[in-house]
Amino acid sequence: MSKAQLDKIHAFHLLIANAKDTAKLAFPGQIVKLRQAFQVGVHKPHDLQSQLQRGRTVLASMQAVENVAALTTKGWTADETTALNTAITALENDKTLLEAAKDAGIGSTGQKNVLADDLYDRLLTVQNAANLQWPESDPANAQTRADFRLGKFPPKDHGGHHVEPTPPTPPAPTPTAK
């Protein structure tokens, strides 16, 4: 997927989130309407086609005559409706994106693991560069290291087990005077 395609998806997600937030303000307590018409709380399935289908449902609800007045009083405008329609249409018309999104589900865990390993390697590289530039052994670097939180990475995790800090010992009760 290209950066431009990812930008389209992010713009779509932002518009949908804004639409749902506006609907929650416009129709407080109307749980059934929010869920069915505005897809509030509906997040699965995650594939792009399903997201676009939910987007069309939200768009139709934003355009519904009976909803427009309430949505407008909460800040939603015709421009947002147009932008949402444009975003959905752009995604639906991007056939290479839709094909790539279909294939993303197959083996996506392996892809994510490769990307996570790459991120981890890059973090280690940045940490190493910071350690070379501002070594911990030089006291003059203490403030810079603190400002940028340059500690040991990855932090020691005691053999993979989370260790809770020992709670402080409460002070002994002071005797009360009689």
Cα(13)–Cα(87) distance, integer angstroms:
9
Question: pTM of this prediction?
Answer: 0.58
Non-local (6+) Cβ contacts of 130 within 8 A are 148, 150
Domain boundaries, the chain: 3-104, 108-147
Q: Please check the confidence at residue 124 and state whether its pLDDT lies above 90.
A: no
What's the rounded mean pLDDT across residues 83-92?
95
Nearest CA to 49 out of 106, 104, 102 is that of 102
For residue 176, what is the DSSP state? P
Say what the pLDDT of residue 127 is: 78
**For residues 88 and 52, is the Cβ–Cβ distance under 8 A?**
yes
Query: Taking CA 49 as the corner, what is the angle to CA 47 and CA 55, rounded to the nearest 5 degrees?
Result: 105
Cα(16)–Cα(23) distance, integer angstroms:
10
Q: Please check the confidence at residue 145 and state whether its pLDDT lies above 90.
A: no
Place of tokens 């929650």: 24
Residue ranges of E strands in 14-160? none
Cα(40)–Cα(77) distance, integer angstroms:
19
Percent of the chain at pLDDT exceeding 90: 44
What's the rounded mean pLDDT across residues 91-106?
76
pLDDT band for 17, please (50, 70, 90 cuts).
very high
